[in-house]
Structure 1
Amino acid sequence: MLYESVGYLLDQVRSTMWNMVTRETMADLGITATQACVIFMLVSGRGLIAADLAREYGIDASAVTRLVDRLEKRGLLLRVRSNADRRMVKLALTAQGVEVADRVPEIFTRVLDILLARFTPEEIGFLKSMLRRIMTNSEDSASAALPDMSVRLAERDFANHT
């Protein structure tokens, strides 16, 4: 049954949480949940170039460009050319962006407090453990698939050159 499927339930929880966070970030900060995450990633030293953001969120480069454009227009971040490699453009928060970033964790905490209100600390610990295990399984699966793909590519290249 669809409504009992683990995948469906995980997607519904993610969607509900994301919508709640967006409502809160829009009301408090005037930005979307995705924009809030980007700002928070930057203040914590992650995702310093647009390609990192694309990988983190699984979105294409043009979507990241639009996202960065909006944040730059709002005065929350700047594009800064790297001194080491002029082709590389790093993203940096403005003072206003840092102020916004400082308010993001409170919003996520407020939403999670609502969603986890009827859970015991032990249940929350168990839930986190299970979610970490899903992530580990995902990483293990991805790394196991890579050698197989590289072998297939090597075999294909060898066949094409013989």
Structure 2
Amino acid sequence: MSVYTRDTFVPDTSIGYLLRANHQLGYAQLDRVCADYGITGIQWSTLIAIHFGMTNCAALARDLAHDKGAMTRVIDVLEAKGLVQRDRDDADRRLVNLSLTPEGNAVAMRCRDGVIALWNAVLADWSADETASLIAQLQKLRRTLEHFA
């Protein structure tokens, strides 16, 4: 089945365009929420990813769609703020493991409450079924795109 033709492929129906536009709009709001805690949206995304078990820069870069250099700079800033620490892996000294400091964990959790409030406000007029359907379809799209990666 073909979803698009030359006649139907316009920005308002382009999945790529719509995802990018929503991503930019969402991150603008995320930056606003996170500013109250002295961090940016990408810094919070990094902190929360580490909190949930992502412990190396390469994995963070892949998951957060950043190049390794940009991710290293984000980690550098978080480390300078005292929110993240780097430790050499005991089994393989070439590897560097990332972890949250107690302050980093506290900032991540306080900011998470603001992010939850933001998304609850954004989705206030959506039904539970609409929200669940959107999440399921976005997860399916991610799996499909990962297959092509």
**Deviation for aligned residue 1:5:** 2.7
Does the 8 A contact of 1:80 with 1:89 survive in 2?
yes
Q: Which moved more, 1:133-142 or 1:6-15?
A: 133-142
Per-residue CA deviations over 1:88-121 (Å, capped at 9, x if unaligned) read 1111111101111222321221221122121111
Question: How far apart, CA to CA, are the structure 2 residues paired with 1:61 and 1:90?
Answer: 15
RMSD: 1.6
Structure 1 residues 132 and 103: alpha-carbon distance in aligned structure 2, compared to 1, 3 A threshold: same
Question: How far apart, CA to CA, are the structure 2 residues paired with 1:133 and 1:44?
Answer: 21
Aligned position for 2:40: 32
| DSSP 3-state at the match of 1:20 | helix
Give, as a single letter, the amino acid of the residue that structure 1 aligns with 2:91: A
1:2-13 alignment runs, 5 A limit: 2-13=11-22
Q: Say whether residues 1:113 and 2:111 are aligned partners.
A: no
Identity of aligned residues (%): 32
Aligned position for 2:5: none
Where does the alignment leave 5 or more consecutive residues of structure 2 unmatched?
Answer: 1-9
Aligned position for 1:139: 146
Equivalent residues, number: 140
| Bigger Cα Rg | 1
Aligned position for 2:89: 82
Question: How far apart, CA to CA, are the structure 1 residues paired with 2:67 and 2:133?
Answer: 34
Give, as a single letter, the amino acid of the residue that structure 2 aligns with 1:6: I
Q: Say whether residues 1:100 and 2:100 are aligned partners.
A: no
TM-score (norm 1): 0.78
Where does the alignment leave 5 or more consecutive residues of structure 1 unmatched?
Answer: 143-162
Aligned position for 2:4: none
**Deviation for aligned residue 1:76:** 0.5
1:43-54 alignment runs, 5 A limit: 43-46=51-54, 48-54=55-61
Structure 1 residues 22 and 81: alpha-carbon distance in aligned structure 2, compared to 1, 3 A threshold: same
**Deviation for aligned residue 1:60:** 2.2
Per-residue CA deviations over 1:5-42 (Å, capped at 9, x if unaligned) read 33222221111111101111012x11011110111111
TM-score (norm 2): 0.85
Structure 1 residues 85 and 140: alpha-carbon distance in aligned structure 2, compared to 1, 3 A threshold: closer
Question: How far apart, CA to CA, are the structure 2 residues paired with 1:125 and 1:57?
Answer: 22
